[in-house]
Amino acid sequence: MAAHPRRTERCKALRLACWNADGVRGRKLELEHFLNQHCVDICFLSETFLNPGQAFWLTNYVCHHIDRPTPWGGTAILVRCGIVHHSVPVPGLTHLEATAIQVTLASKPVLIRAKLFTFPPSDRSGPDYLFW
């Protein structure tokens, strides 16, 4: 797989992407190709279907996700290695899952969250996902 093109030092912006994984483990190569092709710095994942304690990783990325008790839904945030960041706890939510990180841009902290409305499979009347 080709390495992602180097970006100039003048480029201070982050490249963000959203990806509905529909089961991220089965689409790892496709996701890795997309991230490298488009030089994505931070990727918000929804519908990860990761089980509690299940690790997920991609070369050159750190993955943040919250363990969940059910096999459907789930959010994660992939952050390219080298970007200074840390995970931020998200309080308990009802019908909403969230994964959050904080990065520093222009010497200011910026909170970044991936959110997913999680209605039980029998009640999919609400929106499937939402990123803020």
Can you tell me which residue has the tokens 């996700």?
65
What is the tens place of the pLDDT at every residue in 10-21? 456 789 998 988
- CATH superfamily membership of 16-131: Endonuclease/exonuclease/phosphatase (3.60.10.10)
- Mean pLDDT, the chain, integer: 77
Q: pLDDT at position 94, please?
A: 62
Residue 5 pairs in a beta bridge with: none
Beta strand spans in the chain (E) = 16-20, 42-46, 61-65, 75-80, 85-88, 96-105, 108-117, 130-131
- Whether 105 and 91 have beta carbons less than 8 Å apart is answered as no
The domain segmentation of the chain, as residue ranges, is 16-131
Give tens-digit pLDDT for 7-53: 444 456 789 998 988 888 888 999 999 999 999 999 998 888 888 77
Question: Residue 60 — very low, low, confident or very high, per pLDDT cuts 50/70/90?
Answer: very high
| Confidence class for position 71, pLDDT limits 50, 70, 90 | low
Q: What is the mean pLDDT of residues 97-126?
A: 72
Distances (CA, A) of 41 to 34, 78, 80, 122: 12, 8, 5, 35
132 vs 113: CA distance, rounded Å: 6
Which residue, among 74, 79, 1, has the nearest Cα to 42 in the 3D structure? 79
| pLDDT confidence bin for 61, thresholds 50/70/90 | very high
